[in-house]
Structure 1
C-alpha cells in the first residue's frame, strides 16, 4: 500500500501485521497489544487522492480529454460512414478488382483508426496511474506531519481497519494539508493530450 510505504520510517501496522504481533487477537485493545500511549490513525487512500485538489485536477484533465476523444470519434465515424456509403454507390460502376482494392483500403483505414483510438483511450488510465504515483510520492512527509499533529504514531490504510471509531480517520486533515502543500500538483510531466 502506497501510504503505508510512504511513512515506513514512522511505524506501521496492517491487519496482517497486527495479527502476527505478540498476543494480539480480535477483541483485545490495540493499546494493550502495541503498548500504552501508541495512537493509530487511518487514511482512505482513494478519497485522499480523489478529494484533493491534485486528484480533482487529474480528473478534470481526464474528463476534458475524454470529451475531446468522443468528439474526434464522432467525426471519424461520420467520415467512415460517408466513405462506406460512397463505396456502396461505386460498387456498380467499378470493376470487381477496383472495388475490392478500395474496399480493402477502407477496411485498413478503419482498423488503423480503431487501433489509434484504443491507444488514446488506454493513455487515460496510464496518465491517471502516473499522476497517482506522483501524488503519493510527494505526500509521505505531509502525512507524517499530519500524523504528528494528530498526536499519533502509526498510520494505516482505512481498508485495513476492521472496526474503528470515526475519530481514527485523519483523511480530511490530510487532504487539507496536502492541498496547502501541493495545490493541484502543477503541470504533469507527461500531459494528457488527444492529438
Structure 2
C-alpha cells in the first residue's frame, strides 16, 4: 500500500532552541550551596547575577546563530514542501496506473515508492536534527569563550560572586550584570566567526 499519510505532520516545524545548562557556577569555580570566601566593603560579599539565556541571545554571537538557524530552517521547509509535492504527485500517478498494471508490477512499484518516501523522511529528519546539534555546538563554543570575560566584568563592577539569575528569588535590578557582560563579550569575540559545525547538511 502507498503510505504518504503523515508527511504534513512529519515535515512540520519542530521546536529547536532550548537553553543549555548554566555555566555561571563553573565560571567562578563554585556551585550554589557552597561556602564562598572573600568579602567586599563593609565585610559583605558583593553578589552579581547574570541571565545566561539573555547573555547568549542578546550577544552578536547568539544573534548570528539565530539568523543561521532561521535561514537553514526556511530552506529546509521549502525543500520539505517540494519533496512532499513530488511524492504526492508520484502517489497519484501510481494510483492512476494501478488498473493498467499487474498485481505483481503494482506491488513492486508501491514498495519502491514506500522505500523512497521513507528515505525522504529519514533524510529530512537528519537535517532537522542537524539544526539542533548546530545550536548546541555553538552554545558550547560561546560559553567556553566567556569565563575570563565574565570574571573581568564581575571584578570591574566590584563583585565577588556571580550566580545564575534563575537561582535568585528576590534581587535588586542593579545586581544584574547581563548587559555589561554582553557588551564585553561582543567586544572580545564579536559574532564568533564561521561555525566549525555547519548548520545545514548538503
TM-score, structure 2 as length reference: 0.84
Q: Counterpart in 2 of 1:114?
A: 121
Contact 1:65/1:192 (CA < 8 Å) preserved in 2?
yes
Q: Counterpart in 1 of 2:34?
A: 17
Offset at 1:191? Answer: 1.2
Uncovered stretches (5+) of structure 1, i.e. residues with no partner: 22-30
Offset at 1:3? Answer: 2.1
Among 186, 193, 200, the residue aligned to 1:193: 200
Q: RMSD over aligned Cα, in angstroms?
A: 1.7
**Aligned residue-pair number:** 178
Map 1:44-59 to 2 at 5 A: 44-59=51-66
Among 78, 89, 98, the residue aligned to 2:96: 89
Map 1:1-195 to 2 at 5 A: 1-8=22-29, 12=30, 14=32, 16-17=33-34, 36-195=43-202
Q: Secondary structure at the match of 2:100?
A: coil
Q: Secondary structure at the match of 1:156?
A: strand
Offset at 1:13? Answer: 5.4
CA distance in 2, matches of 1:133, 1:3: 13
Moved over 6 A (4+): none
Offset at 1:88? Answer: 0.6
TM-score, structure 1 as length reference: 0.87
